[in-house]
Structure 1
Amino acid sequence: MIASKLHLNSFLHGEDITASSLLLTALAFAGLASIAYVILTEAYRSKVRLPNIPGPTGLPIVGNFYQLNPDPAETLHQWSKKYGGVYQIMLGTMPVVVFSSMQAAREVFIGQGGSLIDKPKFYTFHSVLSSVASSIGTTPWSESTKRRRKTAATAMNRPAVASYLPFIDELTRDLIADLWKKGQDGTVAFDPRHSLSRTITDLTLTVNYGARLPDDDALLEEIIDVEDGLSRIKCPLGSSQDFMPIMRWSPFNEKSAVAKEINRRRLIFLNKFSSELEDRVEKGIEKPSIQSNCLKDPDVRLDKVDLLGISMSMVSGGLDTMVNTLAWSIGTFALRPDIQEKAYQAICDVYGKESWGPIEDETAVPYVTALVKECLRTFCVLRLSLPRATWKDVQYGDIFIPKGTTVFLNAWGCNRDESVYGPDVNVFRPERFLEDPDLPHAAYGFGTRMCAGFHLANRQLYVMILRLLWSFKIELSKEDADNNWRMRALEDVTEPWHLAAIPPSYKVRFVSRNAGALKEMLE
């Protein structure tokens, strides 16, 4: 009996020794593997870093990724003051060349536009989320991309956009009626963002599918929520796992699961709209639209994936940029009655106070044209334009950028370039575009892969801002507690890491300037 107990104790003691040894061995192996991974990663990062291009020193493994806090676009703008208008950063193991100077951006993105027609592939967006198709602005260059872009450019050039004016007018009228009704002619202050989201979504669906958005708040909220989730993933810096592959294996990383769910939900409503359009075309009751023209034109060689990519571009583009630009602008107008009055007088000089009349183009009231440009420049809601990849080698002065390199256009930095806009670059001053009508801005990007819908966006902003300022005095709430907000494009952006710069929440009042004339126009 005693011998058996001694044998058992010895056996158990041996087991303890063996388990401890295995644990120590495993920890040692994990430690050595981690050290090896760091050494190999740093060796690789050193190898792929572009020679002779300055840039900030990064951290091991992650590079400069986490140094971009708290506001990536502004951080990149500040780094340009130290490293120059063209420099490089390291995002994990990926070298990225940043253009933050207006002159350099225009000379390369326009002057060598053919070298920057490609787009980089990011793991979360291209491999996980975009399982079927992706928007024009995010798709790497191919024959399919070329076909889609050519079709979209034709559908949104100046003559085509002029044909959409009845849609723009109709939806602007509905927006103004909604603001007047919700605000009870200026007696109630409220946040106009929901009204703006409905109008812009409605307009993009009308132009793309030839049908108005159904009167279905649940559908609208679904589109808005899905597109917001999509923007967070589509952001050039939206996911660390795009630049640090090891993070894709983390059990705490939900990026891939969220991306798959966003894609599933998006395809449901996009396929619904496409199916309804095909049914209308078959019955011969469709209205003119981008998609119907593609379906009926035998010379347009687009398949369903191509058409889906165009639809994705239309819906995302409107909600990312138009809604936020208008939200920033309306809040600014409420804080700047002097600008409102100057714009109103300029509008009345052309159209009068009793009728808003037809709008032939976006240059009839030069002050409103300048106002639109200053809104686009100041708020620059797409601060980091969707990334490019070099299709060919690029030589800019002493800087050589080889084919296949990821390139960021820091539109925010370009729009804060003091050599272009002067020392009052942070002041909201529309007059700068009257003093120099050819003054550029970077809100739409530059070159061959710039925003294909910029003509449509300019027309929408011009018409909506003109109609709003003709119809209303936009005033602050009468409650002091509601007015604790500002519209400073840098300090007051609510989510600096989001694809689009989102303004703070606010409430304003829409007070009719001429209730009788406004009522007549709306009727």
Structure 2
Amino acid sequence: MSLLLPTWIVTITTRIILIPVLVLVVYLISNEVVRWSRRIRGLSGPPGLPLVGNLLDINKSYTAEIYRQWSLEYGPVYQVQLGNSTVVIVNAAEDAKTLFLNQTSSLISRPLFHIFHKLVSKDVASIGTSPWNESCKNRRKAAAASLNRPKVQSYEPLILRETADFIGDLVAESKSGVNDVDFAAAIQRLALNTVMTLNYGIRIANMTTMKHESFYGEIIEVENEISRLRSTSKNLTNYIPLLQFLEPIFWRKSSAHAADIGNRRIRYNDELLHRLKDAMAKGVDRPCIQGNVLRDPEALGLSNNELLSISLSMMAGADSVQPTIGWIFLLLAHRGDIQKRAFEEFKNVVKDGYSLHETQDVEYILLLVKEALRFYSPLPLSMPRESTTELHYKGTIIPKGTMVFLNAWACNHDPALFAEPWEFRPERWQDVGLEKHAHQFAFGYGSRMCIATHLATRLIYTVLYHTVANFELQPARDATPEEWDAVKGLKDPTALNASPKASKARFVDRHLSFQAELN
């Protein structure tokens, strides 16, 4: 009996195997032609792999630092290929000025990402992630009116209230420095409460409410997941069309999860807006940003989705506040010299008694906040831009529709702008010379800079001011010397925000001795 299969079976089997292989080979070859055609003439850049380009390189460690290191080899402005997308990376302050400031109108828009815009935010996107159009312009104008410096000053009582509760949480947890305090939860409550109060006039009563109330737990869970899905480094499907084609077959649950996250975010923001409107109808609402927008005659034309977009932007604002406060706490715990200087400067200013219900301006603490935002760069890669017209850079034409990343981390450590950039030195911002007037890249540059800059800075300052007044920070018992290091201490090197891995310190109460010294 022959073991040979009939010829027709062999033929069919061969075709079943070979046809998909041939199709894949043809696709890969044609895709490489497309990728090659999209490279920008005149810009160098690191070599990449077929199909994925440089995606695997930037997922190995701290993405922004990899981009900075490549700039030492390929120049301050170069191109990378993330899958099929050609992206220009800007790593130096002077070149950032050339592109983001001098050609600001050409870099006013945002690119659309498959995961975030088509799955998570298919119905509505925040102001910060929206492409530039008339609607985005109107939304940004309405939000900016509620976030300018005078308005932020009017929010001071709200910020002080949240800060007082925050200090109270630390006092209760620390037991006068006996316990190591995991301050991450308290910072998260502070940020969420501040955002909700300022945006909707609604706040969480206390830590217990946040732990046990499912509604607030839902907000925390979804906002954390939104931050992950916004990452420009780890979501490979954004850049590889083949993965988008195969997604419904192999990653259906993943795409359904992203869409569900977006729907859940809309639901709880709708609920918060409904509560605010109900309070306004009854005349019992608290002053807040959404209330101001709803009462602003120029904002009456905004649709429900546009109002929701403003809310989404406010909720996303915690992405820079939370990590910055965490880094500062770790820094102070390990840098006794800086903490001592901050407390001494505090005492020199606050001579008439300390109160949790007011905040005075202490220059050194203001400089400390500014230096922390520079040194740690909480959003190391500023929100990506997309060119709306051709860009010109040293004889090179960057085509319309090109994605451009501002590497805020690299610009904030540019030795041409900052002397000894890897040293944490608050005094640099008061020295006579270039540094004193240098741009601080933590909130972006040029058009589409974060409109909540004043609010975020004031909140961080207020928290630091009252923390320095009430506590001496010491390292936790299981602390490591590297936990305050801006690179080695990172929790997730490819995340949207640069959050510290460590979240514990000892908060030793010094209120009584402080009062005695004042009196």
TM range (shorter): over 0.9
> Any idea what SS the aligned residue of 2:493 has?
coil
What is the rounded CA distance, in whole Å, between the counterparts of 2:231 and 2:38 in structure 1? 23
**2:92 paired residue number:** 101
1:126 and 2:117 correspond = yes
**Secondary structure in 1 matching 2:473:** strand
Count of aligned positions:
503
Q: Offset of 1:354 from its aligned partner?
A: 3.1
| CA distance in 1: counterparts of 2:340 and 2:412, whole angstroms | 26
Pairwise CA distance, 1:121:
0.6
Q: 1-side partners of 2:463 and 2:76: how far apart?
A: 35
C-alpha displacement at 1:518, in angstroms? 7.7
How far apart, CA to CA, are the structure 1 residues paired with 2:146 and 2:194? 15
Pairwise CA distance, 1:145: 0.4
**Alpha-carbon distance in structure 2 between the residues aligned to 1:403 and 1:58:** 23
What code does the residue aligned with 1:404 have?
G
**SS at the partner of 2:86?**
strand
Corresponding residue to 2:386 among 371, 389, 392: 389
Q: Residues 238 and 134 from structure 1, CA distance in 2 versus in 1: closer, same or farther, beyond 3 angstroms?
A: farther
Contact persistence 1:485–1:504 (CA under 8 A): no
> Residues 212 and 357 of structure 1: is their aligned pair in 2 closer, same or farther, counting only changes over 3 Å?
closer
TM superposition shift of 1:493: 0.7
Q: How does 1:327-342 map to 2 (within 5 A)?
A: 327-342=326-341
Q: 1:400 to 1:505 in 2, by over 3 A?
A: same
Q: Give the alignment of 1:190-339 within 5 angstroms.
A: 190-214=181-205, 215-217=209-211, 218-248=214-244, 249-250=246-247, 251-253=249-251, 254-300=253-299, 301-318=301-318, 320-339=319-338
Larger radius of gyration: 1
Deviation of the 1:17 alpha carbon: 4.2
**Alignment check: 8 A CA contact 1:474 1:509 kept:** yes
- Find out whether 1:140 has 2:131 as its counterpart: yes
Q: What TM-score do the two structures reach when normalised by structure 2?
A: 0.93
Matched to 2:313, the amino acid is S
1:427 Cα deviation after fit: 1.8
Q: Which amino acid aligns with 1:315?
A: M
For 1:425 and 1:66, how far apart are their aligned partners in 2? 28
Shift of 1:77: 0.4
Supply the distance in 2 between the matched residues of 1:342 and 1:202 (Cα, whole angstroms).
30
User: How far did residue 225 of structure 1 move?
Assistant: 1.8
Rounded to whole Å, the distance in 2 between the matches of 1:414 and 1:101 is 5
Which residue of structure 1 aligns with residue 141 of structure 2?
Answer: 150
Give how far 1:107 is off: 2.7
Worse-matched range after superposition: 397-406 or 190-199:
397-406
Which position in structure 1 is the counterpart of 2:10?
20
In structure 2, C-alpha distance between the alignment counterparts of 1:358 and 1:349, rounded to whole Å? 19
Gaps of 5+ in 1: 1-8
Tell me the alpha carbon deviations over residues 364-393 of structure 1, each in whole angstroms, 9 at most, x when there is no partner.
322111100111011111111110001222
For structure 2, the 5+ residue unaligned runs are none
Aligned residue in 2 for 1:178 = 169
Deviation at 1:484, TM superposition (A): 6.6
**Would you say 1:499 and 2:496 are equivalent positions?**
yes
> CA–CA distance in 1 between the matches of 2:455 and 2:487?
27
User: Residues 115 and 360 from structure 1, CA distance in 2 versus in 1: closer, same or farther, beyond 3 angstroms?
Assistant: farther
C-alpha separation in 2, matches of 1:55 and 1:483 = 37
Note if contact 2:170-2:183 (Cα within 8 Å) is conserved in structure 1. Answer: yes
Q: Cα–Cα, structure 1 residues 359 and 389, in superposed 2: closer, same or farther, change >3 Å?
A: farther
Q: 2:37 aligns with which of 28, 47, 54?
A: 47
Counterpart residue identity of residue 232, structure 2 = P
- Sort the Cα spacing of 1:261 and 1:183 in 2 relative to 1 into closer, same or farther, 3 A: same
> What is the CA–CA distance in structure 2 between the aligned matches of 1:289 and 1:447, rounded to whole Å?
27
Measured in 1, the distance between the counterparts of 2:261 and 2:399 equals: 34
Contact map agreement 2:356 2:466 (CA 8 A) in 1: no
* CA deviation string 1:51-102 (max 9, x = no partner): 1111112111111111222221111101111111111111111111111111
Q: Which residue of structure 2 aligns with residue 6 of structure 1?
A: none
Q: Secondary structure at the match of 2:285?
A: coil
Alignment root-mean-square deviation, CA = 2.0
Return the match for 1:73 from 59, 64, 88: 64
Distance 2:481 2:393 in 1: 46
CA shift, 1:360, in A, is: 7.0
